[in-house]
């Protein structure tokens, strides 16, 4: 079956700056994909290209359509919450449901009201009287009531407290993910989304540095815990990352290290956070190091 997203050689430039540089990946149906990267890595640019807001060089197919040329048709089956999503403060939840019923052919007012009952938002509440977390939950309830195939979320829980973030992701998984639809979540809160994801795309300064199902991480990457006596041998094997763990140190390798090095350590489960640190660098660190 054709993937919901097929991207090949995507490139976007803003003047002299390259925001996306030869990015290729695919997203099948029924997946929860994390798009990870530091601020400025290219996440928002990629999402804007996916929903047809900007033109990208290369080949891009979303739900069988060209996002830029067939955007109206695309948005009948794709839902998008940008990082600066705003709902009108004067409107009540009930008014927004009525508005969406007239705007989107695949919106279900009944489902929206059902989803709202999972939140602390009442249908008579005005947006201007809601907390930021409640506004985000209302927005998700409206979007999840659209019979779409793909949901694109750009930093959906930015600025929310931990309880609001937890409630948002629980609602997302329970009410959206059904094995047929897919969701692409852009975030730099790696620890919070790891347990939700089936796949990860990792961007670093516009380049895709990792595209892998989470189930395959342990097959590709090797993490070895070791004591101080093995530190020099681990360093000489050129790991992606050396870091501290409880009771000692660890080294992360792309692939299997030489047998003589593997024998010096105890295998650990590589975490998504460790991979994120190993494969990406914050722009201010790069500038400091002259990279």
The CATH number that applies at residue 91 is 3.40.50.300
Q: What is the pLDDT of residue 286?
A: 42
Question: How many angstroms separate the CA atoms of 40 and 145, rounded?
Answer: 31
Q: Which string of DSSP letters, residue by residue, matches 233-270?
A: HHHHT--SEEEEETTEEEEEEESPPPHHHHTTSEEEPP
Of 149, 176, 203, the one marking the end of a domain is: 203
Checking DSSP bridges between strand 150-154 and strand 182-187, what pairing results, if any?
parallel
Given a cut of 50, is residue 9 above it in pLDDT?
yes
Mean pLDDT of the region 111-135: 92
36 and 170 part of one domain: yes
Domain that holds residue 255: 217-289
Give the least confident one: 74-83, 148-157, 231-240, 277-286.
277-286
Given a cut of 50, is residue 287 above it in pLDDT?
no
Query: Number of folded domains in the chain?
Result: 2
70 and 128 part of one domain: yes
Q: 244 lies in a domain?
A: yes
Of 176, 203, 230, the one marking the end of a domain is: 203
State the average pLDDT for the chain. 90
**HEC readout, 97-148:** HHHHHHHCCCECHHHHHHHHCCCCCCCCCEHHHCCHHHHHHHHHHHHHCECC
Token look-up 């705007």 returns 103
CA distance to 45, 120, 150, 251, 253, per residue, from 230 (Å): 43, 54, 47, 10, 15
Given a cut of 70, is residue 288 above it in pLDDT?
no
Mean pLDDT of the region 31-49: 93
CA distance to 15, 52, 127, 203, 207, per residue, from 21 (Å): 14, 18, 39, 10, 5
Mean pLDDT of the region 215-235: 94
238 and 262 part of one domain: yes
41 and 157 part of one domain: yes
Q: 9 lies in a domain?
A: no
Q: Give 191's pLDDT tier (boundaries 50, 70, 90).
A: confident
114 and 176 part of one domain: yes
Q: Which residues contact 29 (CB under 8 A, 6 or more apart)?
A: 1, 3, 4, 149, 180, 181, 182
Q: Give 85's pLDDT tier (boundaries 50, 70, 90).
A: low
Q: 21 lies in a domain?
A: no
Q: 270 lies in a domain?
A: yes
Mean pLDDT of the region 83-109: 91
Given a cut of 70, is residue 289 above it in pLDDT?
no
């Amino acid at each position: 079956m054709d993937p919901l997203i097929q991207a090949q050689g995507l490139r976007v430039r803003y003047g002299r700056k390259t925001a996306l540089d030869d990015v290729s990946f695919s997203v099948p149906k029924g997946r929860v994909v994390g798009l990870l990267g530091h601020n400025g890595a290219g996440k928002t640019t990629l999402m804007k290209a996916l929903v047809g807001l900007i033109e990208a060089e290369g080949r891009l197919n979303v739900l069988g359509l060209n996002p830029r040329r067939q955007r109206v048709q695309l948005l009948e089956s794709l839902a998008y919450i940008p990082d600066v999503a705003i709902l009108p403060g004067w409107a009540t939840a009930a008014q927004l449901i009525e508005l969406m019923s007239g705007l989107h052919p695949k919106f279900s007012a009944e489902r929206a009201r059902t989803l709202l009952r999972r939140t602390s938002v009442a249908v008579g509440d005005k947006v201007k009287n809601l907390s930021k977390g409640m506004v985000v939950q209302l927005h998700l309830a409206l979007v999840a009531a659209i019979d779409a195939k793909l949901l694109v979320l750009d930093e959906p829980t930015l600025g929310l407290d931990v309880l609001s973030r937890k409630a948002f992701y629980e609602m997302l998984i329970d009410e959206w993910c059904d094995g047929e639809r897919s969701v692409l979540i852009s975030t730099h809160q790696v620890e919070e989304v790891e347990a939700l994801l089936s796949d990860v795309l990792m961007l670093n300064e516009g380049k895709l540095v990792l595209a892998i199902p989470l189930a395959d991480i342990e097959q590709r990457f090797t993490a070895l815990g070791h004591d101080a006596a093995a530190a020099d041998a681990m360093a000489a094997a050129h790991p992606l990352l050396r870091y501290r763990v409880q009771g000692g140190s660890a080294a992360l390798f792309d692939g299997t290290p030489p047998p003589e090095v593997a024998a010096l350590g105890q295998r650990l489960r590589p975490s998504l956070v460790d991979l994120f640190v190993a494969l990406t660098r914050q722009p201010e660190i790069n500038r400091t190091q002259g990279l």
